[in-house]
Structure 1
Amino acid sequence: MHHQLLPITAPLGRYIANASYFRQTVGDFCAFKLVPRIFSTLFFVIEKKQSLEMCYGGTNHKFQSNSIYAFGVGNLPAAFHVTSEIEVILVQMHPGISCLFHNDQAHIFTNQQFDISDIDQNTEHLNEKLSYADSLALKWQLIQEYLIKKFSVNFPQKYGTVAKAIDILRKNSGHFPIKRLSEQVFTSHRNLNYLFMEYVGFSPKKYADIIRFNSFVNLYNQNPEILSDVAFQYGYHDLSHLNKDFMRYIGTSPSDYFENFHSDVNNWCELDHLKP
């Protein structure tokens, strides 16, 4: 599987956390599990010859060629199985940005994926152009032009509270008291919970737990030391708690995950953006 990070044009920097290009040639096979997703994701299937399949929370989803899919944030066990020649572009949006794209509350899209190839005329036209574009540079240019038009609206003022809270959680790897978090962003716990559900799709507590888990996986992937020592740094005071989170979020044990799914493209680059 070939993986390449894509440059993000300045106007999209405040909306997009990461953009990646993936290509697999004939005869190759790739299968990997996903950590919980804190980024809403747009999934552009440029070309698919045979099989691109995702198992998500126990349900199998097959992707069509020349289609665009939207994913909300997710905490269900998920895995990709790629058994054919494919070409895809993944665009991961900063938390909360999906409300601008979908013009709806984020919790509706939590743990869901939707084919949005024909939600409007602009999306249909983009899909057609992508199928005929003859270079990666042109494909990515077309996608960015489309997204700039999509995101040409202002954030609601109350989103600023969510953005500040997310920044605090990210800087502390999710290990931050939620009551104190409300105080830091000058709102009530109840209101912060409401805003997170609206713009992110999870409560602040659940979101913090996911960031903490992802941060642990990322650090241990980079520096595999004594499992219990690394876990303790992220607030896992016993391995049984860590094992429960692995089963809850990934559907496997820590040892099986790190032994069988450690690769350059594991998690499709999501972990890259949780590094300290």
Structure 2
Amino acid sequence: MQARSLPIPLHLSPYIKSALWLKRNAQESFSFKILPRFHPAFIFSLENTLNITNQFAGIELIFQPCNIYFGGEGILPSLFTIPAKMDVILVLLYPQATGVFWQEDAVHFFNRAGNISYNGQSFRILNERIQEARTIEEKWQHIHLFLTNKLLKKIPYNFSYVQRAINLIRRTSGVISIEALARESCTSQRNLLDSFRQYVGASPKQLASMVRFNSLVKDYILNPKVLDKKIAQYSYYDASHLYKDFTRYLAITPQDFISQVNDINKVI
């Protein structure tokens, strides 16, 4: 798989974590379980993408060429297949960007994904422009201009609570109590919960749990031998506690996870 980073304009950096052009150039496809999705994502399938059916949060999602897909955060296991011929632009958002982009409660998008190519005239026009553009640079320019118009709106006061809380969750790898999270974010636990529902879709506890698990698994992918040493660092009681999260988030054992091809999990 080839992964090429695309430049993110400074004004979009509070909302977009990364933008990648992913091009699979191997001769064989591979299937893998994807980690819990605490970054909502846009997937822009380009002309060379093969039709492929994936299991996303318990439903079948068909990826076809020349379409736009959106997936919110989620904890349900998802099984993806990357065919030999895959050509997409993947835009990973920060968790709080879901509610900002859609201007409605992000909880509606939690554990959901779908084809949004025909969700209104603006998406249809964007999709046409992407496919007509000759280079990746031109395609990306159309995309980030579209996202600029959607994301740079007047943000209500409670958005700052969510941003502070998410930054704390990331800095602590999810190992932080909800009481401390609310206190450090300068708001009440109730207000933080309501704000997360509006902008993120997951509760602060759910997001912290996903970040904690993903942080440990990132270390595990890089070096499986460190697993036992890392359990306590990430506030897991013991190996059985961690195994429960593997079953919950991936529906496979740690050994099965590490034996699969983790190219995408390494990238995102």
Question: Which TM-score tier does this pair reach, normalised by the shorter chain?
Answer: over 0.9
Distance in 2 between the 1:25 and 1:176 partners?
41
Distance in 2 between the 1:228 and 1:77 partners?
24
1:191 matched to 2:198? The reply is no
**Equivalent residue number for residue 17 of structure 1:** 17
Q: Map of 1:1-276 to 2, 5 A cutoff?
A: 1-25=1-25, 27-262=27-262, 265-267=263-265, 269-270=267-268
> What code does the residue aligned with 1:67 have?
N
SS in 1 for 2:32: strand
Note the C-alpha offset of 1:258: 1.0
Distance in 2 between the 1:14 and 1:190 partners?
24
8 Å CA contact retained: 2:36, 2:77: yes
What TM-score comes out, normalization by structure 2 length? Answer: 0.94
8 Å CA contact retained: 1:169, 1:211: yes
CA RMSD of aligned residues (A): 1.7
Distance in 1 between the 2:185 and 2:176 partners?
13
SS in 2 for 1:211: helix
Distance in 1 between the 2:210 and 2:49 partners?
34
Note the alpha carbon deviations across 1:23-60, whole angstroms, 9 max, x for none: 12484313222110111111111125533232123322
SS in 1 for 2:47: strand
Distance in 2 between the 1:45 and 1:149 partners?
21
Question: What is the total number of aligned residue pairs between the two structures?
Answer: 268
Note the alpha carbon deviations across 1:185-229, whole angstroms, 9 max, x for none: 222222211211221111111111111001101122223334221
8 Å CA contact retained: 1:36, 1:74: yes
Which sections of structure 2, spanning at least 5 residues, go unmatched?
A: none
What TM-score comes out, normalization by structure 1 length? Answer: 0.91
Which sections of structure 1, spanning at least 5 residues, go unmatched?
A: 271-276
Note the alpha carbon deviations across 1:142-168, whole angstroms, 9 max, x for none: 111111122231221111011111111
Note the C-alpha offset of 1:246: 0.4
